[in-house]
Amino acid sequence: MKKSKQLPDYPKITEFHGHECLGTAIGYRVGEMAIEKLSTKKAVDEEFLAIVENNSCSVDAIQVVTGCTMGKGNLIFKDYGKQVYTFLNRNTGNAIKISLKLDLETINPHFHEARMKAFSSKADEADKKEFEKQKDVLNRKILEMPGEELFKMEKVEMEPPEKARIYQTIKCKECGDLFSEHRARVKDGKIVCIPCYEN
Ligand SMILES: [Zn+2]
Ligand SMILES: [Zn+2]
């Protein structure tokens, strides 16, 4: 894989995420494409924005590669369980949507069978070894395949969402936890947090 200058080394992602997996390989490629296609530097502030439609391992890699993070508010999570990622460069207004188009079986036809065997009740050491091997093959293919083969990519029009705002912190009248005012609810005339409101 040809590595762009701004991209962090792959081990950095493993370090952040805790293990190396298919998800981190996918997320690495997604982040790499987003940076290349939107010609943005790794975001140091909020000029770059990501909308991720799943919360799998790939999202950790995307946070490391693109600098779009949950904490900075420029990573928006939509709970659709989809391998779809949208990125916006606020400075240029350009946005792209990247969707995984190959399933794992197409990328490595031996992967599925090896996985079935390794997780069956009759699995022996050889089956587990074979699974690890096929997983490595799959990983390497994901990291090395041309991005266009792995993903569908389309330009999209999008309105930049509001930048992350600073909210006041208030205290829940029921449990006493401090929380952000924009999540406040009113219960029996008292200002409370969401869990207390829902109880
Ligand atoms: Zn993982
Ligand atoms: Zn509360």
- The yes-or-no verdict on residue 164 having pLDDT over 70 is no
> Do 64 and 139 reside in the same domain of the chain?
yes
Residue type for position 9: D
Same structural domain, 194 and 141? no
pLDDT at 160: 77
Judge whether 180 lies within some domain. yes
96/176 same-domain check: no
Counting the structural domains of the chain, the total is 2
Q: What is the tens place of the pLDDT at every residue in 34-68?
A: 988 987 665 555 788 999 999 999 999 999 999 99
Residue 32 banded pLDDT, cuts 50, 70, 90: very high
> Is there a single domain that holds both residue 54 and residue 148?
yes
Q: Which ligand approaches the C-alpha of residue 28 most closely?
A: 1
Ligand with the closest atom to the CA of 194: 2
Distance from the Cα of residue 184 to its chain's centroid: 28
Per-residue pLDDT of 89-119, as tens digits, reads 988 899 999 999 998 889 999 999 999 999 9
The reply to whether 142 falls in a domain is yes
- Inside any domain, residue 37: yes
The contacts found for 192-197 with CB under 8 angstroms, 24 or more apart, are: 196/172
Q: Are residues 99 and 192 in the same domain?
A: no
Q: State the pLDDT at residue 33.
A: 93
145 in the same domain as 175: no
CA of 194 to the centre of ligand 1 (A): 30
